[in-house]
Amino acid sequence: MENKKNELIIPKDSLVFIPLGGATEIGMNCYLYGYEGKWLAVDCGIGFPGEGLPGVDCLLPDTTFIAEHKKDLVGLIITHAHEDHIGAVARLWEDYQCPIYVTPFASEILRNKLQEEGLLKRADVQIIEKASLIDLNPFQVEFISMTHSIPEPNSLAIRTKKGTIVHTGDWKFEKNSLIGEKPDIKLLKEIGKEGVLALVSDSTSVFDEVHAESEEDVRESLKKVFKEHPYGKLFVTCFASNVVRVESIYHAAKESGRKVCLMGRSLWRIDDAARNSGYMQGIPEFLSEREASELPSEKVLYICTGSQGEPYSALSKLVQKRTNAFAPEVREGDFIIFSSRIIPGNEKEIALLQKKLVAKGAQIITERDYLVHVSGHPSQEDMKKLYQMLMPTISIPVHGEALHLAEHIQLSRKWGAKFSIGIQDGEVLDIDEEAPEIIGEVPVGILAMDGKKIVPLNADVIRQRRKMVSGGSCVVTVVLDKERHLIGEAQVSSFGLLDEEAKEMEELKALISKELEGISKKTSKESINEKIRLVVRRYLNRNTGKKPLIEVHLVCL
């Protein structure tokens, strides 16, 4: 296996692990295992853009390395259907073009994504039943049922001649799983007795020592919350993919005499996928906004998208009144319950949305007030139990930022791992039981989903948009005759900088005219363009303190 661009040579008998995303951030999970000239891919998810990336819908891992080796790719396995594990598959499928292995619920989610990209008939999607064992020579992969905040989460036992790797995906140990399978503790213990070479494991909640509460406790707490607020409208926002939470909200609402209305396309899509996969049994169809509008407000509970402050979510649209005629209006006396955790990086967006809701007279309820959310990721208590069951020789923390991974490394050593390896996106780890080491790097990066286009994160269009948001923009149009004399006056339009009728606008036009006086007809268009740009930049920086995006349109007759 050779990457000619980087002259990286991987010995054929080495078992290697390469994260292309997910090892230096929470989200964008994308991993590769290499052995005997073949590659196995695990997960291909999106990341979430922060406020510094205006207009960007989501982030994608750069899978150039996979594209270069796709002829040797035996398959792509999806551990579960969360966006940060499955969301990039359809958009990056051309780089893979291999069989995709998913469980029934994940297949429903993936099917919709492939259909949107026109790939439904081209992609080879293999539906794997729970606790399956598949042979992808030289890898034998066993699916291990776990618990998470979405149906059918799986850990993977990846067996090779060099040893067994357990790749956890997202997981936790839930005492009473309210939906789907319980964690397969028996199988985990059996795998531990066989011997585990390496454990590649989730680090998201590594700073939580214990999770004292369960989803069952959340369900009971929601019943209490709803009963304590019998008047006014009730809104609950949560992750659309959290099917068990949606079920909990339904049962709590029913007990308090309210019917449930879904608001947000992603919630309806997840609802369809869950019902098609055999979940939501005994729960009637949810109300549409039109149906809910015909009932008294105290008889309806609205489940909305928007828990992370997303600008186009149902909850954000309610605040901005960008909704249909049947949508409810947020008023004084209404309650909005945030039944989710804050994804790092979304703090400002969520705070801004909550401020807007409060300004309308609504009251906000979060996990600080009631038990309305529990994490779907393992606490230290859960992680320690897993280490005790598997007794891995090597610990490889992933799914976390630098602080999460560093903490996981320290704890894994206490829990018995002989080696604990800190790895970053793009690094190639030789998983050797005697001396695991980083042996090289492959190309990695972050791509931006910008509308319908995929562009590098440092693309000019992204850079210019960021500059426009922070500093505004200015467009200057100048017409010169054959002698390089200015015809008329410069035309200046600014966005987010100067009022069109402001005194500064006239001053700027005069400065441009003065700069163009006495220019030789031999002066190049490039030089003239740069002169104008510098005059405008200096003036605007001096008068506004901004560094805007400046565009000069020069017409020479």
Nearest-CA neighbor of 334 among 258, 257, 234? Answer: 234
Taken in order of first residue, the domains within the chain and their CATH numbers are 10-210+375-456 (3.60.15.10), 215-365 (3.40.50.10710), 472-556 (3.10.20.580)
In this prediction, residue 2 has a pLDDT band, given cuts at 50, 70 and 90, of: very low
Residue 203 predicted with pLDDT over 90: yes
pLDDT value of residue 3: 42
Given phi > 0 = left and psi -120 to 50 = alpha, else beta, which region is 507?
Answer: alpha
What separation in angstroms does the CA of 44 have from each of 21, 41, 394? 8, 8, 24
In this prediction, residue 4 has a pLDDT band, given cuts at 50, 70 and 90, of: very low
DSSP summary character for residue 287: B
pLDDT value of residue 1: 41
pLDDT tens digits, one per residue of 53-72 = 777 788 999 999 999 999 99
Q: Residues 222, 225, 231, CA angle at the centre, nearest 5°?
A: 130
What would the mean pLDDT of 181-208 be, rounded to a whole number? 95
What would the mean pLDDT of 181-186 be, rounded to a whole number? 90
pLDDT value of residue 501: 65
Residue with more model confidence, 327 or 499: 327
pLDDT value of residue 500: 64
pLDDT value of residue 218: 94
pLDDT value of residue 290: 95
Residue 526 predicted with pLDDT over 70: yes
pLDDT tens digits, one per residue of 242-301 = 999 999 999 999 999 999 999 999 999 999 999 999 999 899 999 999 999 999 999 999
DSSP sequence for 98-148: S-EEE-HHHHHHHHHHHHHTT-TTTS-EEE--TT-EEEETTEEEEEEE-B-
What would the mean pLDDT of 374-395 be, rounded to a whole number? 96
Query: What's the pTM value of the predicted model, to 2 decimals?
Result: 0.85
In this prediction, residue 322 has a pLDDT band, given cuts at 50, 70 and 90, of: low
What would the mean pLDDT of 466-495 be, rounded to a whole number? 86
Residue with more model confidence, 258 or 548: 258
What would the mean pLDDT of 377-400 be, rounded to a whole number? 97
What would the mean pLDDT of 396-417 be, rounded to a whole number? 96
Residue with more model confidence, 478 or 498: 478
What would the mean pLDDT of 488-497 be, rounded to a whole number? 85
What would the mean pLDDT of 493-508 be, rounded to a whole number? 79
Nearest-CA neighbor of 280 among 113, 439, 105, 397? Answer: 105
Residue 52 predicted with pLDDT over 60: yes
How much is the mean pLDDT over the chain?
91
What would the mean pLDDT of 176-187 be, rounded to a whole number? 84
What would the mean pLDDT of 398-410 be, rounded to a whole number? 95
What would the mean pLDDT of 150-158 be, rounded to a whole number? 96
Which strands, in side-by-side order, build the sheet including 73-77? 125-127, 100-102, 73-77, 38-44, 30-35, 16-21, 427-430, 437-441
Q: Who's near 495: CB < 8 A, 6+ residues apart?
A: 468, 472, 473, 474
Residue 239 predicted with pLDDT over 50: yes
Q: Residues 256, 257, 259, CA angle at the centre, nearest 5°?
A: 110
- Estimate to the nearest angstrom the gap between the alpha carbon of 180 and the chain centroid: 24
Residue 14 predicted with pLDDT over 90: yes
Residue with more model confidence, 545 or 364: 364
In this prediction, residue 310 has a pLDDT band, given cuts at 50, 70 and 90, of: confident
pLDDT value of residue 51: 66
Residue 383 predicted with pLDDT over 60: yes
- Estimate to the nearest angstrom the gap between the alpha carbon of 528 and the chain centroid: 45
In this prediction, residue 468 has a pLDDT band, given cuts at 50, 70 and 90, of: confident
pLDDT value of residue 556: 87
pLDDT tens digits, one per residue of 84-115 = 999 999 999 999 999 999 999 999 999 999 99
pLDDT tens digits, one per residue of 110-153 = 999 999 999 999 999 999 987 899 999 999 999 999 999 899 99
Residue 438 predicted with pLDDT over 90: yes
